[in-house]
Amino acid sequence: MTEATAPFRADHVGSLLRADSVKAARHRFYDEKSIAPEELAEIEDEAIRDVIRMQEDAGLPVVTDGEMRRSFWHYDFMGGLEGFELEERDEGVQFAGVKLRPIFPTIREKLDFPDDHPMLEHFRFVAANTKVQPKISIPGPSCCHFRTAPADILPEEYKDPEALFADLAKTYAKAVKAFYEAGCRYLQMDDIFFAYLCDPKHRADKAALGQDPDWLIGKYAWMMHEAIKDRPADMKIGMHMCRGNFKSTHAAEGAYDLAADAIFNQTGVDIYFMEYDDERSGGLEPLRLLPKGPKRVMPGFITTKRGALETVDALRRRFDEVAKVADLDQFGIAPQCGFSSTEEGNAITPDDQRRKLDLVVETAEKIWGGVAA
């Protein structure tokens, strides 16, 4: 592995378009039940080696497994926690013009992070097959609350949300420790629901459940802080925020203003991946709350939802605007979201994806003089 470590000037959120070989193998394994788990793993392994090489060839200083082994960016991790179960039902979560596959997380027992969570081995595989820094992205603790309906939180003690939040924080603190012991020095915990709670509709939905959205923002920040506060000094924590990403559609909109103070000053996170590819994300003014120091923001001016390629000149102009509200030295660049938050992927091609990653690297080199400066 190289000596370059996070934070970087060029990065990406984590998920990549699934290889056709992986899609076919997963269909044969999960639907047809016609191949053994060892054959599926072998096909996934080869696809992951391929996307690692693709990321390295693009000049990225950090790589992921593209989430090739996952169906969802979040549910696969959550389903591996003790106390969680994933249930398939009749109707999925509504996105803009399309519904998610009907998988629903249910909390049935006391929560914990198991020593054999499969994503620990997922990370080890990436680390063993790359020349640069490996990273893994997992859902943050807020996801376990936001995406679980109150009726699906079954333990009596968790009817008190404070008890649930406390156990989620402990569960994630154990996960952070386990990933560190597995060799992970750059862990990303995606807490997209800070952005959802800036959306009037989602705020109203939570209020209808008797949950104050502003109180939730504070509790979600508290959970993240508690989960990562004891991490060793050489472990960096990233956090991605967006407004939904399923087959190039979205589920929320609204500026970051209502959550910016909690995001920047209460979570304890080192690196922030912030969706900023269209008007749904609002203006840059919330960046004023970024405290001076080593924290870094990776604004997502490059979209993963459409194949049309942005230009370096246009991106330079966006960063000229950033420099009016914050110190440009505290910034880098990454795409606005993953390319395939679920295994279906966004409505773009592998060539589009590669050009976007090439543009991330080129922009970092033009603005900051390198990808790891």
Contact between residue 371 and residue 8 where contact means Cβ atoms under 8 Å apart: yes
Cα separation of 348 and 338, whole Å?
A: 12
Residue with tokens 């795409």: 335
pLDDT digits (tens, 9 = 90+) for 121-139: 999 999 999 999 999 999 9
pLDDT of amino acid 248? 60
DSSP-based three-state secondary structure for 314? helix
Contact between residue 47 and residue 22 where contact means Cβ atoms under 8 Å apart: yes
- Residue 261, C-beta contacts closer than 8 angstroms, at least 6 positions apart: 289
pLDDT digits (tens, 9 = 90+) for 161-197: 999 999 999 999 999 999 999 999 999 999 999 999 9
Return the number of other C-beta atoms located less than 10 Å from residue 148's C-beta: 18
pTM of the model: 0.94
pLDDT of amino acid 281? 83
Residues of the chain with pLDDT under 70: 1-3, 91-101, 244-251
Residue spans per domain, the chain: 61-368
**Token pair for residue 314?**
């246009």
**Under CATH, what is the fold of the domain 61-368?**
TIM Barrel (3.20.20)
pLDDT of amino acid 350? 97
pLDDT of amino acid 330? 98
Return the number of other C-beta atoms located less than 10 Å from residue 207's C-beta: 13
Angle at the Cα of 367 from the Cα atoms of 365 and 372, rounded to 5 degrees: 50
